[in-house]
Structure 1
């Protein structure tokens, strides 16, 4: 199912007259959390997105009561370091790299044979953007991201040109995921955060009769997870409804929260 509303049309998950609680009645939540923009505010430099002590404590308290998984576009080991938590299931690189405290790395390879190409693309991206101030190239396990939030407007367009050129050279092998001031280059396979969440529901044996999955995300890449859970779980988009850039965005989520601060309050209602 696709997007059905804009963000401004959605009920607030903290003030919804009991609608979300009614959807979860009789079942335990299984909570899936994006990292940037959900557990931390969006920041200029990716390395500065360190989770607050309060949010960390709330997530830990929630994880003692129900399954909690972090699903991020970031490299999995980077998410674990920034969170300072080593006892949660983490799906990094949009679910290409999944780890659990019980099993360690969960073996799966949605893009076999792509490592050499991604390494080649990473070096090209670095070489062609190194002269552009404010551009950060972030290599990941199965992809590479080019962040341009700190770049001048003319340099942002240059980043877009470089990314488009790389895709044009490998039209069958690469796909581009645009995000918030970032382009992510991935292997062109049918894998995304939605597929990762469905995979985790299966691997973790989260019986739909006992658990209802809740997915909290803020970015366009989270829409895949919102769509994947329609009819099975609940999508909650994080973004200020008074921000025009956010408010008019079509979404497949069913509820909203305005900010990471509201996310923390919401998670606390589930944890305590």
Structure 2
């Protein structure tokens, strides 16, 4: 599979209209990560509230074409931060999928792991919960350990504890990488890419007249870019000069440099 540097990607807003040409004769189906795409990355996860302008843009887009949110966040928290509860949301990296029409449409393999996540969450609270700056975020199907506000000299303690837990539970627990966060989830073959393909099937979006687009900014979004590589469009959100992006390789085909550019792009889709 062809990978390119983020800095080498053409803009999805480029004057050449490459995205528009790909969409010609097709209806878009839009899949969107939340943090870093619909809202800027912020120091405290609970402060990532969607702006009124982006909420309006999202609602107008949803009136024109299918829109699905695919996020690492807990689904209920994502809906609360968006201020929107009538869109399809795949929370916890696709482990918790919900639609306003059908309710839960999560893959059946996920439901048996809720007790495991509760156990892992309690272990993390005991091991690292007292370290200043650590934020433990339990979700329905995973648990995240944020260390952005942990002093540099304490970060190895957090990482060592997570690695020890993984080593002791390698058959049950897996690590999902992220920006200044360790996320622990059930060790089953499931990710954002498989969640998007599941949604395409369940929502009846697999026809030749539909072109799926995925917008994401994090390492976990690469699974979705790869899943759609031969059947849709992947758009990386971020700048190559961002130290958290750096000289990253990506399977996306286009780039948008900021949340504001995402808003401009979404406003023009499907018109």
The bucket for the TM-score relative to the shorter chain is over 0.9
Shift of 1:116: 1.9
Q: Which moved more, 1:221-230 or 1:237-246?
A: 237-246
2:119 aligned with 1:120: yes
Matches within 5 A, 1:224-243: 224-243=223-242
Distance 2:3 2:107 in 1: 32
Counterpart for residue 58 of structure 2: 59
Distance 2:24 2:39 in 1: 29
2:39 aligned with 1:40: yes
Counterpart for residue 221 of structure 1: 220
Counterpart for residue 249 of structure 1: 248
Distance 2:174 2:9 in 1: 30
Counterpart for residue 99 of structure 1: 98
2:269 aligned with 1:270: yes
Counterpart for residue 48 of structure 2: 49
CA separation of 1:245 and 1:86: change in aligned 2, threshold 3 A? closer
Deviation digits for residues 30-69 of structure 1 (CA, Å, limit 9, x no counterpart) = 0000000000000111100000000000000000000000
Deviation digits for residues 81-102 of structure 1 (CA, Å, limit 9, x no counterpart) = 0001011000000111111111
Counterpart for residue 9 of structure 1: 8
Distance 2:78 2:71 in 1: 8
Shift of 1:254: 0.3
Q: Which moved more, 1:90-99 or 1:236-245?
A: 236-245
Secondary structure (helix, strand or coil) at the match of 2:236 reads strand
- Would the aligned equivalents of 1:143 and 1:187 in 2 still touch at CA under 8 Å? yes
2:208 aligned with 1:209: yes
Would you identify which runs of 4 or more consecutive aligned residues in structure 1 move more than 3 Å? none
- Would the aligned equivalents of 1:61 and 1:271 in 2 still touch at CA under 8 Å? no
Computed over aligned residues only, the root mean square deviation of the Cα atoms, in angstroms, reads 1.3
2:141 aligned with 1:135: no
- Would the aligned equivalents of 2:70 and 2:89 in 1 still touch at CA under 8 Å? yes
- Would the aligned equivalents of 1:96 and 1:109 in 2 still touch at CA under 8 Å? no
Shift of 1:258: 0.5
Distance 2:134 2:121 in 1: 13
Secondary structure (helix, strand or coil) at the match of 2:25 reads coil
Distance 2:173 2:15 in 1: 41
CA separation of 1:85 and 1:245: change in aligned 2, threshold 3 A? closer
Shift of 1:114: 2.0
Q: How many residues align?
A: 271
Counterpart for residue 147 of structure 1: 146
CA separation of 1:5 and 1:95: change in aligned 2, threshold 3 A? same
Secondary structure (helix, strand or coil) at the match of 1:114 reads helix
Distance 2:41 2:65 in 1: 27
CA separation of 1:237 and 1:271: change in aligned 2, threshold 3 A? same
- Would the aligned equivalents of 2:94 and 2:191 in 1 still touch at CA under 8 Å? yes
TM-score, normalised on structure 1? 0.96
Secondary structure (helix, strand or coil) at the match of 2:235 reads strand
2:161 aligned with 1:162: yes
Q: Which moved more, 1:203-212 or 1:37-46?
A: 203-212
